[in-house]
Amino acid sequence: MSEIDDSNLRLARRIVEAACGLLVISGAGMSAECGIQTFRRPGDDGAWDQAAQQLATPEGFQREPQHVWSWYRRRRLQALAAQPHAGYTALASWEQRAPVFVVTQNVDGLHARAGSSRVVELHGSLHRFKCAAQSHAITDGCDQDVVPRCSICGSYVRPAVVWFGEYVPDAAISGAAEALEAAQAVLLVGTSLVVNTPGGLLRSAARRGLPIIEVNPDPALPRPADAQVSGHLPPATTVLAGPAGVVLPRLLA
């Protein structure tokens, strides 16, 4: 059972109920209760981290295309087998009350599967593919064990995810900017903010005066009461320190 502070919950409810548009910025923690491992967890052995450094890079794919393909195939099958939790459903249902704009770092596709209709995937998707040489979009033959080749240029096919050392696609950046423009409050869920883009989005939201609610058992933003506020990140307006699958259904009841 989570120990969410009741006064924080009441304040957060007032904020979301008053907002005509909600910007949800989500990260790997959003899917933790669906059985999909986060990138960094306090006290873990950094297994994901080490694997990612080797595999989730253009160089890793060039070196070992079959190994990287198989690793992503396993992640994709795991994502397909996972079920979106009640927090996902609560966000999708909130669209009946007000527009919800999801900007996610996740590549697992669970927001859309839960029914959210406006989703910007900053880091691409495990479920889309392109060729390594010329980024031709590939739709056929991507279920196989053996890394496929592009029928146009012959290069290997890779998942259309953003790897270390690659840029977030322009379309995702502009989608996130449009979502920010339309939002009146921000819900930050399950991200450590180690990646730059969501941090930049939050700073822009804070400059526009939008309230920020953080949902995370181990929050990343400075607490509202912190006298010493980090120059890098704005403080949260309120923090709901608990898991997304428990907190979001209570917040958006």
Report the catalytic residues: 123
Residue closest to ligand NAD, measured at CB: 29
Residue nearer to ligand NAD on the CB measure, 126 or 150: 126
What is the smallest separation between the CB atom of 93 and ligand NAD, expressed in angstroms?
A: 18
CA distances from 66 to 51, 69, 73, 156, 201 (A): 15, 5, 10, 9, 36
* Piece of 1-9, 38-46, 150-158, 176-184 that binds ligand NAD (CB under 6 A): 38-46
Centroid of chain to Cα 221:
16
Which of 61, 101, 102, 108 is close enough to bind ligand NAD by CB under 6 A? 108
Q: In the block, which residue shows the tokens 């379309």?
A: 171
The answer to the question of residue 106 lying near ligand NAD (CB under 6 A) is yes
The answer to the question of residue 194 lying near ligand NAD (CB under 6 A) is yes
CA distances from 108 to 20, 27, 31, 196 (A): 28, 11, 8, 20
Centroid of chain to Cα 41:
15
CA distances from 71 to 51, 60, 206 (A): 9, 12, 38
Q: In the block, which residue shows the tokens 């794919």?
A: 61
CA–CA separation, 247 and 201 (whole Å): 23
The answer to the question of residue 29 lying near ligand NAD (CB under 6 A) is yes
The answer to the question of residue 212 lying near ligand NAD (CB under 6 A) is no
Which of 4, 15, 27, 71 is close enough to bind ligand NAD by CB under 6 A? 27
Laid out side by side, the sheet with 157-161 consists of 137-138, 124-131, 157-161
Which of 12, 24, 102, 107 is close enough to bind ligand NAD by CB under 6 A? 107
Residue nearer to ligand NAD on the CB measure, 150 or 189: 189
Which of 192, 199, 233, 234 is close enough to bind ligand NAD by CB under 6 A? 192
Which of 19, 22, 25, 36 is close enough to bind ligand NAD by CB under 6 A? 36
From 83, 91, 92, select the one nearest 31 (Cα to Cα): 83
The answer to the question of residue 243 lying near ligand NAD (CB under 6 A) is yes
Residue numbers at the binding site for ligand NAD (CB under 6 A): 27-29, 31-33, 36, 38-40, 105-108, 123, 189-192, 194-195, 215-218, 220, 243-244
